[in-house]
Chains A and B, each alone.
Chain A
Amino acid sequence: MIGSPLVYMQQNQVQKAYQNFITSQTDLSPSVAFGFDEGDVFHVYTFKPQIPVSGYNCESAVKFLDQMPKGEDGFTVANQVIQTIGKNEIARPGSNTVLVLFAMEAETNELCHRVFIRNSQGQLKEGILKFIPENSEIYSRNQGLLETSILERKKIGIVGLGSGGSTLAVELAKAGVGNFVLMDFDRLELANISRHVCGIGDLGRYKTKAVRDLLYGKNPYVNVETAEIDINENPGKTNLLLKQCDLIIGATDNNRSRFNLNKIALENKITSIFGRALTRACGGDILRVRPYQGPCLGCVFTKEFLESRQEEISQFKQAREETPAYVSDQEVSATIQVGLSSDILPISNMIVKLALVELCRDLESGIASLEEDLVADFYIWANRREQTYANWPKMLYDSRTPSILRWYGAKWKRNLSCPVCGEEHQQIDDEENIFAA
């Protein structure tokens, strides 16, 4: 048990509550509090928070006074107000009650505050009120390393919120990216939990909305649009949602959706990043596509490439869609071979680094040197000495030979005769074009 209970409020909620008081002159406004750790910590909300809340429910109110009582007088006032709350039947006997007092100090013109907590035994204690600040202050620790004010304005589209996509979404929010478009039509199932950032409490929810709430938990000021759609079936809507993004990340588990994202990114000239894990996550790869400056997905994802680097099949649905109807469900199930969450994390982490480099490109930031390192458009991750990497030398003590648990950048030129981004069918003959509406 700590000395004085800590009470947290969001700064913007206090400002709104004060504005309400000024306009309506209603000095007592009910609020909601959630308690933690046997009454050591409380979070008070004057209106419904964006983030999903936890903790146990407590009675709470915010009272605006003409003048803040000093010393013991505060306890007298608090007791009186809490009695009033009881009469108004907001309070429930036998639980903690949190009362926040505010008053405008005439001399300083500042809103001063005190907070009191009545415990289940009826004892009144004074707590310490702390404010959750505005966005820029939350990420002040990143300043110097990252241009948080720039990242705050950036918008990232993340398509696919499985184990990879969900992790990198949270990391990018932690880095200070301010705007997100999250797209996935799947709901969180029990089989996902062991590798996903969301937990049992989110079962059955759309992955988009569950991840959105995690982002709000990291930064309540982040803007998140979600779309629970299959991008393969909704290309128009997908394009509409993604065309304003500064960067698109393809974290889906099938090539059709990757190629559809590649098309949208090329058409809108938006840089995109695609990541995937190989079978049993023995390794992975990441492709960064800078439209028409380097290789696109079509330049790299050829038949030979896909044969030599076979993708991880992690879900029955994914396997079923990629297998002809005549293959039995039992045979399809046998193709599902997954790695651990810890095998996926390095791939997500590398995507985050590449994304931050793209978002801060040509700007003065603490990661400028990384821009000089990450010049390759294609990266290979070797995770375990099996399958593709079966013949690799053991890591041991030699850092001069290729080994697992390292990233390798590969030089990959744009294919000028690529059927997707190449220049062979760039000329369009209007007279012969029967495909224009």
Chain B
Amino acid sequence: MTWSQVQQKRLQTEKRILKKYFPTFKWLNPTDPDNTQVEGNIRSNAKNIYRLRIYIPSDYPNSRPEMVIISPNPLKGYLGKDLKEYGASRKMHILSPKDEYVQICHYKDWLPNLTVYLVVLKGRIWLEALEGHTRTGKSLDKFLSHMKKGA
């Protein structure tokens, strides 16, 4: 299976936008729609480094790309608790782990006008909320408000 011409154009545009704002992010297996991923490092305001991975679905942009934190792994929160122990948690804005990594809950209702850049941006914000949680013990939704239906 290959990306269609329309998808290739779209992904090229996405790659250009992502490179502008997150230049460290790389596209992995870009010719294989069943295994295309985007990976890159994010440095938080507290100077901690996290590595994010975004799985690009073969019907992109029609379905939501999944996003996980692959480093550090295990990802620890308040008092060193492994975030995977929460499972799928509304309070922590996380879904069930994927490939044994913590999966971030980002756009609830995905639409094709959203982009990988916006997903990474959500990841960036989530990481800041994570650091707030790690410092204070408060759940992530104290730092991140939930999206309304349709958002």
Contact = CB atoms under 8 A, between A and B. Distances in A.
Chain B at the A interface: SS class: loop
Interface of A: 232, 235-236, 255-256, 259-260, 262-263, 266-267, 298, 301-303, 306-307, 310, 322, 324-327, 418-420, 424-429, 432-437
Nearest to A311: B150
A298 B59 contact: no
Nearest to A266: B6
A232 B90 CA distance: 26
B105 interface: yes
Interface in B124-151: 148-151
A436 B150 contact: no
Given A235-B58, A256-B59, A326-B90, A306 B150 contact: yes
Interface in B21-39: 27, 30-31, 36
Nearest to B58: A235
A277 to B, nearest CB: 16
Contacts of B89: 326
Contacts of A433: 8, 12
A206 to B, nearest CB: 23
B138 to A, nearest CB: 18
B82 interface: no
Interface residues of B, number: 42
Nearest to B6: A267
16 contacts: A235-B59, A256-B59, A259-B112, A263-B59, A303-B113, A303-B150, A324-B88, A324-B95, A325-B96, A326-B94, A327-B90, A420-B113, A433-B12, A435-B30, A436-B8, A437-B3
Given A324-B90, A326-B95, A303 B111 contact: yes
Given A260-B59, A307-B148, A301 B15 contact: no
B111 to A, nearest CB: 6
Contacts of A306: 109, 111, 150
Contacts of A424: 13
Contacts, number: 111
Contacts of A255: 109-111
B109 A435 contact: no
Given A236-B1, A326-B89, 5 more contacts: A255-B109, A262-B62, A263-B59, A298-B112, A326-B90
Interface string B34-60: 001000000000000000000000110
A236 B34 CA distance: 12
Contacts of B110: 255-256
Nearest to B107: A303
A260 B57 CA distance: 12
A419 B90 contact: no
A153 B46 CA distance: 67
Contacts of B95: 324-326
Nearest to B31: A437
Interface string B98-131: 0000000100111111010000000000000000
Q: Which of A259, A266, A267, A302 has most chain B Cβ within 10 Å? A: A259
B105 A324 contact: yes
The 9 closest A-B pairs by CB, nearest first: A307-B150, A259-B62, A325-B88, A425-B13, A326-B88, A437-B2, A326-B90, A435-B8, A434-B30
A267 B30 CA distance: 21
A225 to B, nearest CB: 22
A307 B27 CA distance: 33
Nearest to B16: A432
A433 B30 CA distance: 9
B74 interface: no
B108 A324 contact: yes
A433 B11 CA distance: 9
Contacts of A428: 5, 8-9, 12
Contacts of A260: 59, 62-63
Contacts of B4: 263, 267
Contacts of B5: 267, 428
A433 B1 CA distance: 17
Contacts of B59: 232, 235, 256, 260, 263
Contact of B31 (A322, A325, A432, A435): A435
A425 B7 CA distance: 10
B61 interface: yes
B92 to A, nearest CB: 9
A435 to B, nearest CB: 4
A310 B108 contact: no
A324 B141 CA distance: 15
Contacts of B1: 236
Contacts of A232: 59, 62-63
A310 B150 contact: yes
Interface in B77-101: 87-90, 94-96
Contacts of A420: 61, 112-113
A223 B30 CA distance: 40
A300 to B, nearest CB: 11
B89 to A, nearest CB: 5
A437 to B, nearest CB: 4
A159 to B, nearest CB: 14
Contacts of B112: 259, 298, 419-420
B62 A302 contact: no
A435 B7 contact: yes
